[in-house]
Amino acid sequence: MNSHINKYILPVLIPWVCVLVILDALTKYYALYYLQQKITIIPNILSLVYAQNTGIAFSIPLEWILLKIVTLALIFWIFYYYWKYESHKDNTLLHFSFALIFAWALWNAWERIFIGYVTDFISLQWFAIFNLADSFISLWALWLAYYYWKYTP
């Protein structure tokens, strides 16, 4: 196994990924059992509301079987790309980014495949209802886009 994988992912990244996935699971549990009505945080902008997302990211609708195929294909592609092109690099933040994106994608996929929906609860009035995993995946993906734009030829 790659020395960078041994050095970063096993002792450092896996515990952080586990903590953050547990945080996502706890917020979804809270939304399911305690978010009985809409809670307005910033009027006409941000609120908390329980929703069952049967679509893909940010509630984009897809047929059931296509949804599962797309979900698994995206997760496979993320893992394959990381393993083939990025795992050898000596960049902790890069490894951390891929580990988090992969973990949250797996967690959402697990919900989507075995429960039939993903629990969402953060609502932006003119956008969508999403969860912590969605927002963190988006933030880390933006960071990766910046990284590639800034540091790759």
112 within some domain: yes
The whole-number pLDDT of residue 38 equals 93
153 within some domain: no
Residues contacting residue 72 through CB under 8 Å, at least 6 positions apart: 109
Please say if 134 is a catalytic residue. yes
The whole-number pLDDT of residue 54 equals 82
Task: Enter the tokens of residue 123.
Answer: 């609502």
| pLDDT of 50 above 90 | yes
What total number of domains does the chain contain? Answer: 1
| pLDDT of 18 above 70 | yes
| pLDDT of 144 above 90 | no
| Separation CA 41–CA 38 (nearest Å) | 10
Instruction: Quote the mean pLDDT of the chain.
Output: 82
The whole-number pLDDT of residue 26 equals 93
| pLDDT of 47 above 50 | yes
122 within some domain: yes
The residue from 48, 134, 136, 140 that is catalytic is 134
The whole-number pLDDT of residue 40 equals 95
Among the listed ranges 32-41, 85-94, 133-142, which one has the minimum average pLDDT value?
85-94
Instruction: Determine the average pLDDT of the residues in 130-137.
Output: 86
25 within some domain: yes
152 within some domain: no
DSSP string, 15-54: HHHHHHHHHHHHHHHHHHHH--S-EEEETTTEEEEEEEE-
Range of 29's domain?
3-147
30 within some domain: yes
| pLDDT of 132 above 70 | yes
128 within some domain: yes
Please say if 24 is a catalytic residue. no
8 within some domain: yes
The residue from 120, 121, 123, 129 that is catalytic is 120
The whole-number pLDDT of residue 1 equals 46
